[in-house]
Amino acid sequence: MKAFGIVSLSSILRFTKFGIVGGSGVIVNVGLLHLFTAFFKIDYKISSIIAIECAIINNFLFNYFWTWNDRRTYKKRSFFYRLFKFHLSSGFTALIVNWGLLVFLTEVWHIYYHISNLIGIGCGSFVNFLLGHFWVFSKRNIITNENQK
């Protein structure tokens, strides 16, 4: 995205892809939260952490191979470094925003845990896009196949 509210078409397309990937992450998160809580009778606070981790891995893979495909480095080390950075950024947002709101809204306001979870996911989505775009998948130090020859 460009400064001062001027957004390029490529940024809109990237944000759309990010939203689609995020939607798949929501399905993974909500599905696993429900599965572990309703069927395996695991406390929703623990189920949510497992569901969040699975959604983070899902989202990283789709974002790496699709959303920010043009910024792939084609080096194993870079893949794992970006996975680590993605975990830091998404994990921070997921634990502070998603999980924090889930527990707060459920315990304090007595909102059904599925609704609290969706509110938490929604609040963290835009922050995750910005962290992904400007830090995890930044344009700095991109090595393409042609640069490696």
- What pLDDT digit, counting tens, does each position of 80-130 carry? 888 998 888 888 888 888 999 999 999 999 999 999 999 999 888 877 887
The token pair at 36 is 């572990």
The larger pLDDT score, comparing residue 94 to residue 142, is at: 94
Q: How many domains does one find in the chain?
A: 1
Query: The domain containing residue 95 runs over which residues?
Result: 3-148
Is the separation of the CB atoms in 127 and 105 below 8 Å? no
Q: How far is CA 49 from the centre of its chain?
A: 14
For the stretch 60-92, what's the b/e string if a residue is b when 16 or more beta carbons lie within 10 angstroms of its beta carbon? Answer: bebbbeebbeebbbeeeeeeeebbebbbebbee
pTM of the model: 0.80
